[in-house]
Structure 1
């Protein structure tokens, strides 16, 4: 073995890194942590692509004067007080622990598993730096989004690339592609529907996070991928086309977003006589503010106010055994060919 000179920098043993990436979460529901988080999130050009000269005065002025208090109140309703963190953080940690346990059993100590957040902590750059320092010469990056969108997968990749620009010795990189139509993912969704419905429903709404309609015209494939997931889920359940529908939630700003809007569709269904409605959120790998508060708050209230009688929310796949089997299978597939 070649002997390094005494003054040579330490070179750690080579490892393969697996970095799971999720959207992010405020450190606390209090005003200033919420403001920092929202400012970072809403300043991302992938999320809001208006010119900075137009958008930033609005964001840093009236929006961030009011929105942190409102959003903080919503977070408090779902906050994991025991761990002092948001449910998204709790679930992402559980997913990471499950992947780490699987990786250790499969590859021993040759693999390092970590997670990072696009917004907030732990930041992608800080975790990447730690993994490189630990000897990760190969890196598998896994954005935890079943569907591709510029505002989710692309911005997670952007932040990783910005981190890599700081590294003197960049690891070899692979990125796990979206899995919106993978057979085992669809099967896991179908099983979650079966398990989540104690009784029959009139209609199941697949509620996906929305995007401005303009993004579809500009080439973002998200809308089409969402519809394909709904179609394949319906086929897996063996349901008629009238019993399942794609909708979109979380509209923000004055533009027209992908439609129909979930909050309006649940009211239409109730008014049309469909008094038993279920909602599932296939685009989220973890339950979060959009599912635990928005769907089970504003959207459920819209349904009830319009005369709906039974509203069922079917949780995300989270760190469930079937979901983790999907994620680890994708990881193993994308590690193929690397000597571990």
Structure 2
């Protein structure tokens, strides 16, 4: 541990618009949806659709959604990410910087800030518990691209995933238990994961297996029978088939199957963001209640909780 001064951590996440405006959302979505890890269509076919239809139509709509969740300090994803960075730096007592795959602060700026502090060995921690080519691999690509722009390439260690890490499962379970203590236990616990096109999984992406393993381990930690836990996928985009069952369709059907009290959490998200605070906590809550549900409890992400910071610190210490 005497070489700690040379170590640093790059906390990586997806990113967020700089402001809840159509222009900033358009700028962010353009960078995000240009990544072939995210959308693998041929560029000559995709780019006209993206710039001619999707960005002009979606940007103002998405900006309004961001406005509904924006915090005083900024975008929730950025606010919680900064708190995570500060908490982890305090826990480890080594430099920790943030880098976003899309938008600011960039992965390159994170690497440069670490090197300016004398760091020559960087542990890259993408905050995606379950591996997917659309997320974790996109961070790897971004770091590799950043390396082309630095004079001295640092020693690198990359945390690919932590979907089954005991401290991660424990932290999720603690969040669920806390909700049960405050609100009572629902009829069913739904684990809603961000979806990916089914074709990606068919072509070998291991993401669904990781999601299934996380759900199994969480259910075991909570002592829940299999019929008391359900796994779904949210946030689909476009017309092709994505991983199923879909969260919105499932929540629409559950009240008719006797599920009136629902607990839902999003284990794939390390911080609360548009997909959790607006899509799940607002849109899907409305779907469930409108279909005859009685109580809907969204269980917040791990965010900057002490258990989450301790888990991140453990992941880093394993590589020091």
The TM-score, its normalising length taken from structure 2, stands at 0.96
- Counterpart for residue 322 of structure 1: 307
Are the counterparts in 2 of residues 15 and 112 from structure 1 also a CA contact under 8 Å? no
1:187 is the counterpart of 2:178: no
- Paired residues for 1:16-55 under 5 Å: 16-55=7-46
Q: Which residue of 2 aligns with 1:127?
A: 110
1:142 lines up with 2:125 in the alignment: yes
Alignment of 1:258-337 (within 5 A): 258-335=243-320
1:177 aligns with 2:168: no
Structure-1 residue corresponding to 2:89: 100
Q: Which runs of 5+ in 1 are unaligned?
A: 1-12, 105-110, 336-340
Structure 1 stretches of 4+ moved >3 Å: none
Tell me, in whole angstroms, the C-alpha distance in 1 between the residues paired with 2:110 and 2:161.
Answer: 22
Q: Which protein has the larger Cα radius of gyration, Structure 1 or Structure 2?
A: 1
Q: Secondary structure, in 3 states, of the residue corresponding to 2:120?
A: strand
Aligned equivalents of 2:172, 2:305: Cα separation in 1: 11
- Seen in structure 2, the aligned counterparts of structure 1 residues 126 and 273 have a Cα distance that, compared at 3 Å, is same
Question: How far apart are the structure 1 equivalents of 2:124 and 2:173?
Answer: 27
Q: Tell me, yes or no, if the aligned pair for 2:124 and 2:157 is still in contact at 8 Å.
A: yes
Instruction: State the alpha-carbon separation in 2 of the partners of residues 129 and 194 from structure 1.
Output: 41
Following the alignment from structure 1 to structure 2, what is the Cα–Cα distance between the partners of residues 277 and 157? 37
Instruction: Show structure 2 runs of 5+ residues with no match.
Output: none
Q: Which residue of 2 aligns with 1:223?
A: 208
Question: How far off its partner does 1:292 sit?
Answer: 0.2
Larger mean Cα displacement after TM superposition, 182-191 or 219-228: 182-191
1:90 is aligned to: 79
TM-score (norm 1): 0.91
Contact persistence 1:266–1:277 (CA under 8 A): no
CA–CA distance in structure 2, aligned partners of residues 78 and 130 of structure 1: 30
RMSD over aligned Cα, in angstroms?
A: 1.2
- Report which stretch shifted further, 90-99 or 130-139: 130-139
- Measured in 2, the distance between the counterparts of 1:131 and 1:188 equals 28
